[in-house]
A and B are shown apart, each in its own frame.
Chain A
């Protein structure tokens, strides 16, 4: 319990740090950001848009601490400002309408990669020197060396443009009304295959190698020898004795990997024009929509911190040693 509270405090601190970073960045940016944006928008900005920006970037002549307090307050009440590219939609609405797609893509890819990678790692470590152990790791390191977005481009070109097996952009066909019917869901699934596949391909190697290495350490433990001496079946020893204990670091990695997967998903979304927040982030960058950029950063940070907290809860349940300390 104490451990959970301590970690919760840490996550809150981390979140506070990212809010503060968000607050400080525009205020220390050289020059006047609002006039720069105004110049780049070439007169398409309305006066209330400018006023909104001035307020957000603290150019409203209030003392700094007062601005800070009101900024933190507005973040915690879910008010992230007004988007510039989609004026006058609030940033929280823009993010809310798209985060579902990112969660779907990232979640599916993360779960597939983690399950498959761990299984491969377990088998590779169990059969030291086998095909899986000697041929797979270098191959996966090689695939993992490609930038996410480049692999995505390659997959898009090969399977989308050249072969035409899979749709090339967006999460579902234009003209289809979203709903929980078979036609729509299968359409979403076919659109999901390529983006998810690229993320899985790049991230699976890390899982496999991590699992393999801990598993090798675990199989050297005395209780494995003991289990073998008792004459238990190899598969039972492999999964119930060795893998079960080697899985612990992988659980912690799961929370950490989320940040990487989200980063990868952002770029993958850009390539496939997948309507998640990553694609929105690119739109925001191109449209100099600073409030939206900051909002997306905060949302992703909050999501990653929350996921890590949940992993902590699971970990305490899984590893009794943590509870004693």
Chain B
């Protein structure tokens, strides 16, 4: 299976002691990139939470004539149907962020289970799980998403399920590689000899030592979840009655926003997806730089030394 092993050059070094993990959080806040990302994320989370206050009432309510350009009454204009784009975007954040983070958490959970089991038990369990992971990794994601979503009954839970099924494999592979290197350390062997239960060793001994890798895979999964949900809904495979960034784009494209030149119907939702993904990527990038000293810029390294 050598040829399909991607050399992950960014595999961070293991923070060995718990004190360094606390350091990771502080370093995150110190890093400008991460701080910008975190602030952006917090802002979006706040907007999503406050949507009922900021834009009260049903967002898909038709309250103006169609295709109005941005004005004082409708800050971001109105869609071809006459819905307020600002309200749609604010309410869309709720579904998009909810699905994105749920998919991220569940997919990472599955990946942790598979990766840890694979690394801890080794041999045949490892072979079998690696085989399954590699198959899922190789099947083209979007077509798989589409046929799964097309056959299952439509709805938010289907979208989440389908995204988890197609999204866990990449993380499982990274986590397995990391867990495997920790599995070989002496303190794990010591834990085995003292007769600790496998589950305890996996979750109390191995897992805490790979917190930063779990974090990067989690962020990656959330980015995937938000983007893939939007793609799926854009194709009309989500629940088109739910207001989310993806369905906003679906309706914009369906109502011919591109051809009639109503750019305000599709720009806000897409921009929001990109900003959230960008914020997550920034945090991810910062975690990578903190845990992998080689990637740190020379200047930062010199400061550290001095």
Contact = CB atoms under 8 A, between A and B. Distances in A.
Interface string A307-322: 0100110011000001
A240 interface: no
B275 interface: yes
B273 A146 contact: yes
A148 interface: yes
Interface stretch (B17-25, B67-75, B205-213, B259-267): B259-267
Given A249-B6, A262-B140, A322-B3, A29 B298 contact: no
Interface string B116-149: 0000000000000001001101111111101110
Contacts of B146: 281, 285, 293, 297
A210 interface: yes
A22 B299 CA distance: 54
A225 interface: no
Interface stretch (B43-51, B105-113, B230-238): B230-238
A271 B252 CA distance: 12
A292 to B, nearest CB: 11
A75 to B, nearest CB: 14
Interface stretch (B150-158, B182-190, B192-200): B150-158
B4 A252 contact: yes
Contact of A315 (B3, B234, B273, B299): B3
B53 interface: no
Interface string A279-292: 00110011000100
Interface in B266-305: 266-267, 270, 273-275, 277-278, 281-282, 285, 294-295, 297-299
A43 interface: no
B10 interface: yes
Nearest to A151: B270
Contacts of A315: 3
Contacts of B144: 18, 297
A230 interface: no
SS class of chain B's interface: helix, strand, loop or mixed?
helix
B227 A147 contact: yes
A262 B277 CA distance: 21
Contacts of B131: 10, 13
- What secondary structure prevails in chain A residues at the interface with B? helix
B231 A149 contact: yes
Interface stretch (A45-53, A80-88, A193-201, A214-222): A214-222
Contact of A316 (B3, B137, B231): B3
B249 A150 contact: yes
Contacts of B151: 25-26, 29, 33, 290
A41 interface: no
B138 A153 contact: no
Contacts of A21: 147
Nearest to A253: B6
B33 interface: yes
B281 A216 contact: no
A172 to B, nearest CB: 20
Given A161-B258, A263-B142, A285-B236, A214 B9 contact: yes
Contact of B134 (A10, A220, A271): A10
Contacts of B134: 10, 14
B1 A7 contact: yes
Given A33-B151, A216-B294, A267-B235, 7 more contacts: A14-B138, A151-B270, A153-B253, A154-B267, A217-B9, A249-B7, A252-B5
Smallest CB-CB A-B distances: 6 pairs: A263-B142, A150-B270, A145-B277, A145-B278, A259-B140, A213-B9
20 contacts: A6-B1, A10-B4, A14-B135, A17-B135, A25-B147, A25-B151, A26-B151, A128-B297, A146-B273, A147-B231, A149-B249, A150-B270, A214-B7, A252-B3, A255-B4, A282-B235, A301-B143, A304-B138, A315-B3, A316-B3
